[in-house]
């Protein structure tokens, strides 16, 4: 089944007269670009046609505005602004709005052509959706709403007829014909006026069965008003019926303001508590009591939303004591024992003249000892291993570094050698020549010696 932006309803189902003033034959070309193929539906604004766009070589949907609205200057100006805002929203779960065209007295909006069925057709005759299908639709719609709200655009008319379940698996929100920029003042002042039927639109904007209470009071619509309408859609999908009924549209809209919906848990006992709580919060009369954004709503609907928030914090036990400290202590004791054994062995092979432990150590004499004797080194006391407890603190063991003291070598004091003058020996056979001063020099030499 084909669907396009707009309700896939006949004019009578949409509350319109059989002849809405728009009748186009297949093959009609508009603006030398759009080739009309067939009529695929009708909505509150007018008829919807499928056409072939010769410029982009693809099918598009042409949503025509009823002549009574197209001739109103205020309505034409409003449509221009709304198309402008709708063009700024680009998301896979939002139907694209291309442009606003006018030709031969016809005013129409060019939009993305979608193939699938509306959610309204899926829920016809009170059929309920499964929880899995409801959550899948919810994720797609909330993704599209988040993108629109981020651009400052509110939809203002969320209902099953504006939701397409596409053949490619997408869930697409369509028809921003009533959307308004969030920063612009609302023109929905004045008395409430509704047409016959619960699916037609009010002067305030929106559909009686899905309109937010603040819009009924004449307030300004925004993201939280969209979330209320979204909550009504979820309620209808899960319960198989809308939350409110009324004999007249006026009675129906006042139910949104004054009445409480039947408890969803009583109508559907198999629903998880967090899903029921999320739907109930979306249907709060006070906008401030609802979720603040589409992202917050999506987080609350996730299957693990309740379990994650209520999950207790489990304290992890302390780590088991490691045996590394014990090994280090044992190694230290073994090292100290090896040092003591080496010292005792060295002392055992030393000369008998080595001093006893009780005597004070003396330096060996160079004349009596051929080689120096090492002085025994005091035995280092090993660090005892710390005791273990059921939950011990980390063990820090300091291993003393063994030191080996070399024996001291005796100091040998060497006095500088005395310089003795060399005197030639006297030869009795050689008689020195007579020298008058020789006797005086010999006496001086004798005095020196």
Indicate whether 324 belongs to any domain.
Answer: no
Percentage of the chain lying above the pLDDT 70 cut: 57
The total domain count for the chain is 1
Distances (CA, A) of 213 to 187, 195, 220, 284, 294: 16, 18, 11, 9, 19
Mean pLDDT over 251-264 rounds to 96
Question: Which of 46-60, 203-217, 291-305, 347-361 is least confident?
Answer: 347-361
Q: Considering Cα of 113, then 115, then 118, then 119, what sign does the dihedral take?
A: negative
Mean pLDDT over 435-446 rounds to 67
Do residues 140 and 171 touch, judged by C-beta distance below 8 A?
Answer: yes
Distances (CA, A) of 248 to 187, 197, 208, 294: 24, 8, 10, 31
Active site residue 157: yes
Q: Which of 194, 184, 132 is nearest to 153 (CA)?
A: 184
Is the pLDDT score of 311 beyond 90?
Answer: no
Which residues on neighbouring strands pair with residue 47, listed in sequence order?
A: 42
What is the Cα 295 distance to its own chain's centre?
A: 13
The label of the residue with tokens 């062995």 reads 345
Question: Which of 32-36, 183-187, 269-273, 424-428 is least confident?
Answer: 183-187
Please calculate the CA angle 127-247-10 and round it to the nearest 5 degrees. 55
Q: Which of 54, 59, 76 is nearest to 67 (CA)?
A: 76
Mean pLDDT over 401-430 rounds to 54
- Quote the domain boundaries for residue 292: 2-183+199-307
Mean pLDDT over 126-132 rounds to 92
Catalytic residue among 20, 157, 175, 226: 157
CATH code for the domain in which residue 147 is found: 1.10.510.10
Mean pLDDT over 252-265 rounds to 96
SS3 of residue 55 by DSSP: coil
Question: Which of 274-283, 353-362, 375-384, 432-441 is least confident?
Answer: 353-362
Burial class (CB in 10 A: 0-12, 13-18, 19+), 45: buried
Indicate whether 289 belongs to any domain.
Answer: yes
Of 63 and 23, more confident: 63
Q: Is pTM, for the whole model, over 0.75?
A: no
Task: Name the CA dihedral angle for 77, 64, 252, 230, rounded to a multiple of 10 degrees.
Answer: -80
DSSP letter, residue 94: B
Do residues 278 and 299 touch, judged by C-beta distance below 8 A?
Answer: no
Indicate whether 189 belongs to any domain.
Answer: no
Indicate whether 194 belongs to any domain.
Answer: no
Indicate whether 12 belongs to any domain.
Answer: yes
Indicate whether 402 belongs to any domain.
Answer: no
Indicate whether 416 belongs to any domain.
Answer: no
Indicate whether 418 belongs to any domain.
Answer: no
């Amino acid at each position: 089944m084909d669907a396009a932006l707009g309700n896939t309803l006949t004019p009578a189902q949409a509350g319109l007269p059989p002849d809405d003033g728009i009748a186009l034959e297949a093959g009609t070309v508009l603006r030398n670009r759009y080739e009309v193929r067939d009529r695929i539906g009708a909505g509150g604004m007018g008829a919807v046609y499928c056409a072939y766009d010769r410029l982009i070589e693809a099918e598009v949907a042409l949503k025509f505005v009823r002549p009574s609205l197209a001739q109103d200057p205020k309505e034409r100006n409003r449509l221009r602004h709304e198309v402008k805002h709708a063009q700024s929203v680009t998301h896979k779960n939002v139907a694209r709005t291309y442009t606003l065209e006018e030709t031969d007295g016809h005013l129409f909006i060019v939009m993305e052509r979608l193939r699938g069925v509306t959610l309204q057709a899926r829920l016809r005759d009170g059929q309920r959706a499964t929880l899995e299908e409801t959550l899948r639709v919810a994720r797609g719609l909330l993704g599209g709403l988040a993108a629109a709200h981020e651009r400052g655009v509110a939809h203002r008319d969320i209902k099953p007829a504006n939701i397409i379940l596409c053949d490619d698996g997408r869930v697409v929100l369509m028809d921003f014909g009533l959307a308004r920029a969030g920063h612009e003042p609302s023109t929905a002042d004045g008395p409430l006026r509704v047409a016959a039927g619960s699916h037609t639109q009010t002067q305030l904007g929106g559909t009686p069965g899905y309109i937010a209470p603040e819009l009924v009071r004449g307030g300004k619509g925004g993201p939280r008003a969209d979330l209320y309408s979204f909550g009504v859609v979820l309620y209808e999908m899960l319960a198989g019926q809308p939350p409110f009924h009324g004999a007249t549209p006026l009675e129906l809209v006042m139910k949104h303001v004054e009445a409480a919906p039947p408890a969803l848990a009583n109508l559907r006992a198999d629903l998880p508590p967090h899903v029921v709580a999320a739907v109930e919060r979306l249907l709060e009369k006070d906008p401030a009591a609802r979720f603040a954004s589409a992202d917050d709503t999506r987080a609350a609907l996730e299957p693990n939303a309740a379990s994650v928030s209520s999950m207790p914090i489990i304290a992890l036990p302390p780590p088991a004591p490691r045996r590394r400290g014990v090994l280090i202590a044992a190694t230290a004791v073994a090292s100290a024992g090896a040092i003591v054994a080496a010292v005792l062995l060295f002392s055992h092979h030393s000369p008998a003249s080595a001093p006893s432990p009780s005597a004070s150590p003396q330096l060996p004499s160079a004349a009596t000892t051929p080689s120096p004797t090492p002085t025994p080194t005091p035995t280092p006391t090993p660090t005892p291993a710390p005791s273990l407890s059921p939950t011990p603190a980390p063990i820090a063991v300091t291993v003393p570094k063994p030191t080996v003291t070399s024996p001291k070598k005796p100091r040998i004091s060497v006095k500088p050698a005395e310089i003795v003058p060399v005197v030639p020996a006297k030869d009795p056979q050689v008689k020195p020549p007579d020298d008058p001063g020789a006797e005086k020099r010999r006496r001086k030499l004798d005095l020196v010696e």
